[in-house]
Structure 1
Amino acid sequence: MKVLVVGASGLIGQHVVGRLRARGHAVTAVARTARDGVDRAVDATEATGVEFRALLAGHDGVVFAAGADDREVPRKPAYPVFQRGNVTPVVRLLTAAREEGLTRAAVLGSYYTYFHREHPGWRLAERHPYIRSRVEQAREGREAAGPDLPVAVLELPFVFGRAGDRLPNWAGAFDRWVRSRSPLVAPPGGSAVTSAAHVADEVVGALERASGEDVPVAAENLTWPEMIGRIAAAAGHPRPVRRLPGVVAEAALRLTGLVNGVRGRQSGIDPAHAGGLLLRDLFLPPSGTGSVADAIAETFPADRR
């Protein structure tokens, strides 16, 4: 295959490019900023359908590994920011892919769409602008692709790993915390986790199968205390993780929402309803076997200078 990867300079994008090439596929690497390993510098949020068609000509498949992150806190209303980052470029890209006759596509999404599908009573798309954008990304992207272009949507949880200087965008705050003298505390609940390498394997497998499925991706399921404890141990600062009562965590989230509101900002995950989401066990059926131990060690090396 010849595959165009949008977002190829990011943590997961670099792993996808490497895995595709290791499997013998040709790759065109596209990213917003020119750097080593990037074939074309293109801002996916600004690219027109005509520009996407020119990029996609002669390719068999496409991967969208870019987009707006749930930790962004834009000015109110937040949804247009997440729509611009996650929905609009995917619709344009997959429309162009259909018009160019591509035969397979993969979109890197969020595991929140899995919980939206499995637990409609949680009202996730209604309550959280970021989750709404991911739900609409999958639905509108597939509508744009049409019946002859299968689109696999990879539903990703916390992703550990490293690619050159690229780390998970949430890792810096955790790194500073576990290396500090501050106590480690964690609320109830937990999350599925995986590695960038595991995601890349799943993406390439979906492309090779020309899959049009939703693909939840998880290597392990960890409670928040387990995750924080393993991060601290990997960083060389192991210590106990104290339990934070759920009511305290929920109050802190609501306070964050009030502060954001005073500042005229809105979170992608609404703090007013975040306790009912983040304090749950956000676990997925594991895809494959293995652990994230090596990926955690890459993300939080004990010998960091």
Structure 2
Amino acid sequence: MRVLVVGASGLVGQHVVERLRERRHEVTAVARTARPGIDRTFDATEVTEADLASLLAGHDGVVFAAGRDDRRIPRRPSYPVFHAGNVVPVVKLMEAARKAGATRAVVLGSYYTHFDRSHPEWELAVTHPYVRSRVEQARAGREAAGPNLPVAVLELPFVFGRAEGRLPNWSGGLDRWVRSRSPLLVPPGGSAATTATSVADAAVLALEEASGEDIPVVDENLTWKDLISRIAIAAGHSRKVHDLPAGAVRGAMTLTGLVQNLTGKQSGMNPAGMADLMLRELFVKRGTPRSIDRAIRETFPDHSACRGGATSSR
């Protein structure tokens, strides 16, 4: 196959490109900024239909590994920002791929869409602008692709791992926390987790099979206590992880929501609703569990071990 990968310089995008080439597929790597290994640079939110048409000529498939995550908090209302980053570029890309005769596509999405389907009573797409954008991304992208271009949506939880120059976007603050002297306090509940290599495997398989399914990609389901403990161990700062009462979580999220209202901002994940999610076990039952410990160590390396020193314990 000849495959166009949009977002090829990101953590997962780099792994997808590598795995495609290992499988003897031809890859055109696209990203916003020029760097070694990138064939073409453009911003997926601003690229024209003409640019996409010329770029997609002769390609069998396309992978969208870009988009707007929920870390940066825009001004209210936030949904248009997430729509512009997650929905608009996918619609343009799928329309162009369909016209170019592509026969398969993969979009890297969020596991919140899995829970929006399995627990409609949670009203995730109603409560959270970011989740709404991911749900709409899948629906509108498939509509733009039409019946002859199957679009697989990989529903991703926390993704651990490392690629050249890239770590998970959310890892920086967590890395500083586990290495600090601050107590490790976590709520009840937990999350599914996976690795960048597992996502790449799933993306390539979906392309090769021309799947049009919603595919949760999960290696392990971990409580917050287990996850933070394993991260601290990997970082060389093994210590006890304490329980954070549910009331404290709700209080902190209420305060966060008040601050956002006062500053005119709106998070992609509504703070009040986010408290409910943090207190739940957002676990996904799929396949045989596989340890993510190696990917955790890649994401949070033990610097003292690298220097030849002893591992610290606090």
Following superposition of structure 1 onto structure 2, how do residues 36-185 of structure 1 map, counting pairs within 5 Å? Answer: 36-185=36-185
Give, in whole Å, the separation in 1 of the partners of 2:240 and 2:276. Answer: 26
Greater alpha carbon shift after TM alignment, 40-49 vs 148-157: 40-49
1:24 aligns with 2:24: yes
Equivalent residues of 1:220, 1:286 under 8 A apart: no
Give, in whole Å, the separation in 2 of the partners of 1:234 and 1:277. Answer: 26
Q: 1:187 aligns to what?
A: 187
In structure 1, the residue corresponding to 2:147 is in which secondary structure? coil
What amino acid maps onto 2:261 in structure 1? G
Q: What are the Cα deviations for residues 109-161 of structure 1, in whole angstroms up to 9, with x where unaligned? A: 00000000000000000010000000000000000000000000000000000
Equivalent residues of 1:109, 1:134 under 8 A apart: yes
What amino acid maps onto 2:262 in structure 1? V
What amino acid maps onto 1:91 in structure 2? V
In structure 2, the residue corresponding to 1:46 is in which secondary structure? coil
What is the identity percentage for the equivalent residue pairs of Structure 1 and Structure 2? 66
> Displacement of 1:289 after TM fit?
4.2
> Displacement of 1:288 after TM fit?
4.5
Q: What are the Cα deviations for residues 41-62 of structure 1, in whole angstroms up to 9, with x where unaligned? A: 0100001222111111110000
> Displacement of 1:167 after TM fit?
0.1
Give, in whole Å, the separation in 1 of the partners of 2:164 and 2:300. Answer: 14
Give, in whole Å, the separation in 2 of the partners of 1:214 and 1:53. Answer: 26
Give, in whole Å, the separation in 1 of the partners of 2:283 and 2:219. Answer: 10
Equivalent residues of 1:216, 1:287 under 8 A apart: no
Give, in whole Å, the separation in 2 of the partners of 1:139 and 1:293. Answer: 34
Q: How many residues align?
A: 305
What amino acid maps onto 1:110 in structure 2? S
- What TM-score do the two structures reach when normalised by structure 2? 0.96
> Displacement of 1:278 after TM fit?
2.1
Q: Which runs of no fewer than 5 residues in structure 2 stay unpaired?
A: 308-314
> Displacement of 1:72 after TM fit?
2.1
Following superposition of structure 1 onto structure 2, how do residues 230-245 of structure 1 map, counting pairs within 5 Å? Answer: 230-245=230-245
> Displacement of 1:35 after TM fit?
0.7
Greater alpha carbon shift after TM alignment, 219-228 vs 268-277: 268-277
Give, in whole Å, the separation in 2 of the partners of 1:284 and 1:56. Answer: 35
What amino acid maps onto 1:254 in structure 2? T
Give, in whole Å, the separation in 2 of the partners of 1:79 and 1:72. Answer: 13
Give, in whole Å, the separation in 2 of the partners of 1:70 and 1:190. Answer: 19
> Displacement of 1:272 after TM fit?
1.9
> Displacement of 1:286 after TM fit?
3.3
Give, in whole Å, the separation in 1 of the partners of 2:287 and 2:14. Answer: 21
Task: Please tell me the root mean square deviation across aligned C-alpha atoms, in Å.
Answer: 0.9
Equivalent residues of 1:5, 1:63 under 8 A apart: yes
Equivalent residues of 1:159, 1:194 under 8 A apart: yes
Runs of 4+ residues over 6 Å off in structure 1? none
- What TM-score do the two structures reach when normalised by structure 1? 0.98
Q: What are the Cα deviations for residues 244-301 of structure 1, in whole angstroms up to 9, with x where unaligned? A: 0111111101111111111111000000211122211111123454210000000000
Q: What are the Cα deviations for residues 19-48 of structure 1, in whole angstroms up to 9, with x where unaligned? A: 000000000000000111110001000012
Greater alpha carbon shift after TM alignment, 285-294 vs 239-248: 285-294
Q: Which runs of no fewer than 5 residues in structure 1 stay unpaired?
A: none
